[in-house]
């Protein structure tokens, strides 16, 4: 079984599975944004807010995983680092971009923090505090 996406007989990839999954997420969000939460029952709002927090942590985990290995973007574009590229291309504030790259690097060093983000049980803010404090240590 190959990890590479299938190549058609023209030598191109007809659909990158990552791009397809991101498009599905974008489409789902677009659909959800058409719903009016004013008509949801209180219990639904509570449940959906909890679920959105988990989704947000998982999205952050994915973004941080990508940022942690994106030094090649800076090399290719001539930016000082990936946060410089984020500033020019994504209009992300320099300070915010640097903080995200620093967090991405820190989370990449601590498997438990990365796993907590990916499971949606650790928020990006909590991850930042844990990484700044030097990670998670278990005592027996």
pLDDT tens for residues 53-108? Answer: 999 999 999 999 999 999 999 999 999 999 999 999 999 999 999 999 999 999 99
Q: Other CB atoms closer than 10 Å to residue 93's CB: what's the count?
A: 11
Going by pLDDT thresholds of 50, 70 and 90, the confidence category of residue 16 is confident
The residue to which tokens 């397809």 are assigned: 20
- Whole-model pTM: value is 0.81
pLDDT band with cut points at 50, 70 and 90 for residue 119: very high
Task: HSE, CB side, 13 Å, CA atoms: give it for residue 79.
Answer: 19
Mean pLDDT of 29-44: 96
């Amino acid at each position: 079984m190959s990890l590479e996406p299938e190549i058609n007989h023209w030598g191109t990839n007809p659909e990158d599975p990552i791009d397809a999954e991101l498009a599905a997420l974008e489409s789902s969000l677009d659909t959800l944004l058409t719903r009016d939460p004013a008509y949801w029952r209180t219990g639904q709002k509570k449940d959906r807010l909890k679920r959105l927090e988990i989704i947000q942590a998982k999205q952050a985990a994915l973004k941080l995983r990508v940022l942690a290995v994106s030094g090649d973007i800076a090399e290719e574009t001539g930016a000082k680092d990936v946060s410089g590229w984020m500033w020019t291309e994504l209009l992300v504030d320099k300070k915010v971009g640097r903080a995200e790259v620093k967090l991405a690097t820190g989370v990449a060093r601590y498997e438990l923090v990365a796993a907590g983000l990916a499971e949606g049980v650790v928020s990006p803010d909590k991850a930042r505090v844990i990484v700044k404090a030097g990670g998670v240590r278990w005592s027996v």
